[in-house]
Structure 1
Amino acid sequence: MSGRLQQLLAFCVSGWLALTARPVKAANCSVELPAPTNLTVVLRGIGHVNCSWSWLTPRHLENDTSSLYQYKSSFQYDDGRWEQRKINSLLYREQCVDRNRKVIFKVRVYVKNETGSCRSSNWVSITIPSDEGVVAVENFICVFYNFEYVNCTWDVNPTAPDAIYHFHYWQRSMASVQNCSDYIYKGNRRAGCQIDGDKLLKESALNSRVQGVSARGKIKPFYYKLESFAFVKLRPPGRINVARIREGFNVSWEIPSDWKSHCTKYEARVCSVKRDSCVVYECQNAVEKINDADTKSKNSIQVRAMYDVCGSSGIWSEWTPKHYFGEDAGTTWNWSIALLIFIPVLVAVTAIMLFPKLKQLRRWILPPIPDPGRLLKDMFLDGNGDHSVGQLFVASA
């Protein structure tokens, strides 16, 4: 019996130790391999770099077929944290980087065999300095209007020296950097560029650069990368159709045939005129069922669209004009406004019609009062108007 108790106690103790034991961190790779050599960086297009290097397998490892040699690389911006980490077996790496800041690239050899042990080399790095000069460009923004044209605009720091600004753009499919051919002006200064959509590949990111040239000082170029579809602003959807169904209303709207339905999302804003309140519905298709709209009052609906690809949201379009539906959706007569218009008109017409008879009406209501002076005068006058004193006759005795 005591033997079984000892075994049970030993089992419990070993289980507790297994549960409370801290994991042991794997040891760092031993530095046994030679570092890469001939590290170079070539600037390509706008904002892209091609990093390449060389590495020869040591003679004592040439016959080692159980190990896979790879290269770890990453970028650092303005002495910040290392990011954009990558591991592959290629002797080069192409990457889009932020040229507005200082960039450092580093790479080392890494190998891990079947037993799990790893070996590596020391890091080698190269610095890509940022351009020097005064920062002049502010509030830079680009909008791709319905895939028809791109408008890129910017403001200039008031403290920057007077300069002429040049706009350049580039996509990976382009053989060379393109110059702007249609500038947007603010006063006499270049403040933007319009690019024809037919010149761009819609599924590719747009890399741009604004470069100022001044005789009074050096101006630092401004770089900006626009992800695919992230700066697209569609036009509002087409005609809205509303159909009454048993549960409420079925709403649909027209979209252009060149829109990718799986890349577009919508918002429908339904407002009750009676309650003066609105509800916004998120829609994945160009149709929506509205169940909570007041069917006994007038309602309005507006729709807008946005390109949404792989979580990269674009810019919402403008709202469509209001489309009314419901029992009062037809033309309604506002009696209060009608009365305000009708009553003054009625009074004016009546006054015009009664004006000729206004004098007769006044005589009938207020008869004329006789003139007392004229009455007294008539009493002392004869019929012929003779005012002489008559003769006195005395009878004789």
Structure 2
Amino acid sequence: MHTVIAYWRLCGSPSDCLGESCFLIRGTQNMGEQRARDCSLVTYMYSYPPITAPGGDIILKGVRCLIHDEDYTECTWKETGRPDRNYTFQSRYRTGAEYAECPSYTQVEGYNVGCRLEYNSHMRFATFQVQLSSANNTAIWNKDINLKPLVKLYSPVNLTVVISSSNGLYLYWDTSMSKSQCLESIVRYRSSADSAWQNSPAFTSLRYFNLPFADAEELYEFQVKIRMNEFCGTSDYWSDWSQPAYWGSNATSKGVRCLIHDEDYTECTWKETGRPDRNYTFQSRYRTGAEYAECPSYTQVEGYNVGCRLEYNSHMRFATFQVQLSSANNTAIWNKDIYLKPLVKLYSPVNLTVVISSSNGLYLYWDTSMSKSQCLESIVRYRSSADSAWQNSPTFTSLRYFNLPFADAEELYEFQVKVRINEFCGTSDYWSDWSQPAYWGSNATSKGTSEPQSLSPISTQFIRVVMTVFHSGQQVDPRWDPVDSKLQFCFRLVGSCCLKTL
């Protein structure tokens, strides 16, 4: 399968738009003429990176706004790189009021990519109207944004652990938000005996957490995140996790943690940041009674060992993995049996592709480095330009595609996928990182309408067309370079305008 990309200009009058049009595709590497006779082969897709239309316009993804800890409001329209031109950002909090231009732009290489606004508490519950336009007003984007769920608080600070003789361990912290009744918190913690984080239930109004049965022989690590709760208008955004706090065994290291990277290699570490106070020797074995083998390849910081990289074989995951960490004179030593089966973190999915079906809506496809589909568990998250937060799909197994049956072509959709090993192959505690995003939907620089428009011959709205092309029942050679090719296709014209090749 090969994807061919081209641009067409909307033009003509309603009388020009009747009937059926067939176009031709020519390749550049002795491909010959390919004729797409089946109209179902045509799909429409908006993808990342942003599309450059003829004339150099960048099709932007729209404006996203976030309130930082009731400190300031930031609106952005370019997440990476710089846009093709400088855009003007204007906003107002009341319909009918005058738009005010951004008082302080964020720039990349001298180009505006965002705006920073002062924050007042009434702003969060007012109608926030934003407008983005180019200097000559050829591209414009405007929208009403509901700011109430768009507050991201700063991370908690000053985490302190206190041990009580009767009630176990208490963790305390401070926040920049002074109103405790507005806070919702989650604590995550793990001991040196744990392979994964334990999460507390979400709780409100408190700035402390109690762990009643802490074992002083273990080393505990704690982090906290917070958000605005329902009493003050629930936010969709949690703060970042706080810096960690530790309590427990006075070990010179925090213990050894191991992770299998996509069944590619195993990595064990004993110092997450900085360098340790001395060089440690790492040894391991997969069978009790066997000889320990020293690490074949250390990871170092400033000449000090902080981790070990080991080759991975599939039997390792289900064997008893015994590790030992010791200093040169054996004054400090740490050893443990590690259960590797749940410690696999797969690589992120790649090659996300969006295809629209006339009968079943939108399909998202992706590839993974894991060849065994039956071993995969996946989650898709997606949001449209009308959403303030991500929507998550249910968790599903064995599939490398996702169907969204009622996608609105007037909105711009963003998709990401993460995967992990499922229960059929030994469930992992670790999900992959989210994939790079894929996009589908409307031209984000124009507002769009729900009704067809009658366009004059000089209108310049652009559509990106993605075609899957077949030749004599065989797939097109993926090495085919479509640059400078003549791109045309077969479709039935609908609406008040026709498509004309540029």
The TM-score by the shorter chain falls in which range?
A: 0.3 to 0.5
Q: Which has the higher helix share?
A: 1
Greater RCO (CA < 8 Å, at least 6 residues apart):
2
Largest Rg, 1 or 2: 1
- The alignment's TM-score, normalised by the length of structure 1, stands at 0.43
- The alignment's TM-score, normalised by the length of structure 2, stands at 0.35
